[in-house]
């Protein structure tokens, strides 16, 4: 795994597995939090890109409704990763952002643990 700047990140290909590295925590002190794991889509211009989360996210349209279904276990739909049509855009434009980039071995290990869990 390596940590890269926004400029380096935007040069990476579609399909890169990454997470946003939060090097400043909520108290404006150095931290080392890593957000959810994402799949990078195409780069848009010089600051933006498409991405798809690997974990379901209830934020956005009907978020209260979706969360209520999940809490009650009433959701009939299975989460599907949208790898052909990336579902979200970053649009944050924070030039100081840092990103954790996972290498092939780390991704294989994630897959191994996920397969063991099912």
Cβ atoms of 98 and 7 within 8 Å: the answer is no
Assigned token pair, 115: 């397969």
pTM for this one? 0.71
Average pLDDT score over residue span 7-31: 79
Nearby residues of 21 by Cβ (< 8 Å), 6 or more positions away: 3, 32, 33, 34, 35, 97, 98, 99, 100
Cβ atoms of 3 and 102 within 8 Å: the answer is no
Max mean pLDDT among 9-23, 59-73, 100-114 falls in 100-114
CA 24 to CA 72: how far, in whole Å?
Answer: 35
Assigned token pair, 104: 């092939």
Q: Please tell me the predicted confidence (pLDDT) of residue 85.
A: 56
- The dihedral over CA atoms of 65, 67, 71, 76, expressed in degrees to the nearest 10, equals 70
Q: Tell me the pLDDT tens digit for each residue of 63-105.
A: 556 566 666 665 555 555 555 555 666 666 666 688 999 999 9
Average pLDDT score over residue span 48-74: 66
Q: Please tell me the predicted confidence (pLDDT) of residue 111.
A: 93
Domain ranges of the chain: 2-117
Give me the phi and psi of 51, to 5 degrees please.
-155, 165
């Amino acid at each position: 795994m390596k940590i890269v700047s926004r400029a380096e990140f935007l040069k990476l290909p579609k399909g890169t597995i990454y997470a946003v590295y939060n090097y400043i925590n909520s108290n404006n002190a150095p931290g080392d939090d890593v957000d959810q794991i994402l799949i990078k889509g195409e780069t848009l211009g010089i600051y933006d890109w498409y991405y798809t989360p690997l974990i379901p996210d209830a934020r956005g349209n009907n978020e209260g409704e979706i969360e209520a279904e999940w809490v009650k276990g009433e959701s009939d739909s299975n989460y599907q990763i949208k790898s052909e049509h990336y579902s979200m855009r970053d649009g944050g434009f924070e030039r100081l952002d840092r990103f954790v980039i996972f290498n092939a071995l780390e991704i294989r290990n994630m897959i191994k643990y996920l397969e063991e869990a099912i």
